[in-house]
Amino acid sequence: MSNSTAKLIVAIDGPSASGKSTVSREAAKKLKVMYVDSGALYRGATWKAVREGVDVKNAEAVIDLMNNTNWEFFIEDLVLKFTIDNEDPTDHLRSEPVRERVADIAVIPEVRVFMVERLRETAEFGDLVMEGRDIGSVVFPDATFKYYLDADPEERARRRAKELQETEGKGDVEQVLTSLKRRDTIDSTRKTAPLQIPLGAQVVNTTGMTIDEVVDRIVDEVNAYRAQA
């Protein structure tokens, strides 16, 4: 599929807890375009593996499972949603079993090829903001806008711990920092589509910035582009 299927593609990459999920979601709302969380697809595959008792470190078993599942995509309130074998996994995608295993699923090359194809197909729905770890480098290398959000590891750990406290009632900063560092290592050293700053991307360090400040920067730049188009 051509990257030009959608008139406007905003790719937002970065490591875990860099703020990209909230920023992407809010920017999409303000721009009135579709929001796509690419990580949700990898978490969906992880959820399915856990549900079926498949060892996520067994690449062959994971690939076999993935090739025998039916994915259906749809838009709900300008957010990309999906079902797997007619089940909606949304409520389970952020659960601890999925969260702790998704990096092992995402490192499998065949899984990444499968997901990249699915993600490119979402452009058929129209203009979008997509967040992930290889959006501007692999999924949409010709995206209209590319951003790479980052933050100091300690700040990212504090953010994620606070989020877990609010959603699960528990969240130890040191434990989260260890988990984030493990995920960073896996993401940045995998052979297929490693986490990296995409060519031509604007790097935004969000450590000392509020979500609104980051969102407004992106929205202002995209709207200025729209005004000239």
Reported as a single tens digit per residue, the pLDDT across 27-81 is 999 999 999 999 999 999 999 999 999 999 999 999 999 999 999 999 999 999 9
Calculate mean pLDDT across residues 139-145: 97
pTM: 0.86
Q: Which two tokens stand for residue 51?
A: 């549900």
Q: How far apart are CA 179 and CA 200, in angstroms?
A: 29
Q: What is the pLDDT of residue 57?
A: 94
CATH number of the domain at 8-219, please? 3.40.50.300
pLDDT, average across residues 217-223: 97
pLDDT at res. 96? 87
| Helix, strand, or coil (residue 173) | helix
Which has the closest alpha carbon to 108: 65, 44, 58, 68? 58
5 confidence band (pLDDT: 50, 70, 90): very low
pLDDT over threshold 80, residue 213: yes
Sole residue written with tokens 């937002």: 12
Which pLDDT score, from 0 to 100, does residue 4 have?
42
Q: How far apart are CA 6 and CA 80, in angstroms?
A: 15
Between residues 151 and 26, the one the model is more confident about: 26
The model's confidence at residue 2, banded by pLDDT at 50, 70 and 90, is very low
